[in-house]
Amino acid sequence: MIKLDELYSGKAKTVFRTDNPEKLIMEFRNSLTAFDGKKKSQAPKKGYYNAQISATLFRLIANNGIKTHFDSMLSETEMIVDSVDIIKIEVIVRNIAAGSITKKYPFNTREKLNPPILLFDYKSDEYGDPMINDDIALALGLATMEELSEIRTLALMINSILVKYMNDRNLLLPDFKLEFGRCKGSIVLADEISCDTCRFWDKTTGKSLDKDVFRFDKGNLVAAYREAAKRIVPAISL
């Protein structure tokens, strides 16, 4: 596979075209941002840990019969993925109250949310990723009712798979964000699942092993991501 020109560069990943029009290369970088890009930093090996965690979780989800954009790893930080038409909805799944939901509603941090809460945000930097409902998604033409219903089912299935996997590794999964795309007539899981897009808490100590360490200056980010990778990725080289 030949890496061609850059297609898109986001806050933490860069996407490249390849000589195969159906495949892209997604590179996980060491940069990170929070609070709508207002807080910025770099962390060594962060791209590596996130790429390895994402690859492991995409394989796990695919093994459970759910289609994903993941193809294979080109290098330690570069993933070959199917080129998909991204649906501009950030799907948030919440199992335990943390972050914005505790500010907007009377939920206490660490309160269990059973059944899980599923939320949709409009993926738009310009509008600040506002929360939407089905009617807004339909009116904006983001997805059809059938697609929204399938996304909901897939997100809850993925949640069950991930909660069990993390629990077996002494981790809690309070919440995470998913993105989906359209590819060859199917809805497929896309983007990443990593310490940047999930909250991971140590089950014993309750400590954050995710981007909250950066958001709220809770300590050493690289050490936290390394610990998450150590538990999630079998045989990772640290």
In the bound complex, what is the minimum distance in angstroms from residue 223's beta carbon to ligand UDP?
18
Q: Which of 27, 82, 175, 179 binds ligand UDP (CB under 6 A)?
A: 175
In the bound complex, what is the minimum distance in angstroms from residue 81's beta carbon to ligand UDP?
18
Residue 177 binding ligand UDP, by CB under 6 A: yes
Region of 6-14, 60-68, 96-104, 153-161 interacting with ligand UDP (CB under 6 A):
96-104
Q: Closer to ligand UDP by CB, 37 or 44: give it.
A: 37
Residue 176 binding ligand UDP, by CB under 6 A: yes
Residue 211 binding ligand UDP, by CB under 6 A: yes
Residue 198 binding ligand UDP, by CB under 6 A: yes
Between CA 147 and CA 10 the distance in angstroms is 25
- On whether the CB atoms of residues 141 and 198 are closer than 8 A, the answer is no
- Residue 33 exposure: Cα atoms within 13 Å on the Cβ side: 9
Residue 197 binding ligand UDP, by CB under 6 A: yes
Region of 42-50, 61-69, 92-100, 154-162 interacting with ligand UDP (CB under 6 A):
92-100
- On whether the CB atoms of residues 27 and 14 are closer than 8 A, the answer is yes
Site for ligand UDP in 97-126 (CB under 6 A): 99-101
Q: Closer to ligand UDP by CB, 1 or 203: give it.
A: 203
Between CA 121 and CA 113 the distance in angstroms is 19
Between CA 223 and CA 110 the distance in angstroms is 23
In the chain the first and final C-alpha atoms are separated, in Å, by 27
Buried b (16+ CB within 10 A) or exposed e, 55-90: bbbbebbeeeebbbbbbeebeebbbbbbbbeebebb
Q: Closer to ligand UDP by CB, 60 or 97: give it.
A: 97
Region of 10-18, 76-84, 175-183, 223-231 interacting with ligand UDP (CB under 6 A):
175-183
- Kindly report the number of other CB atoms within 10 A of residue 23's CB atom: 17
Site for ligand UDP in 126-155 (CB under 6 A): 129
Between CA 16 and CA 142 the distance in angstroms is 24
In which element (H, E) is residue 25 found? strand 23-28
Site for ligand UDP in 213-232 (CB under 6 A): none
Q: Which residues bind ligand UDP (CB under 6 A)?
A: 90, 92, 99-101, 129, 175-177, 197-199, 211
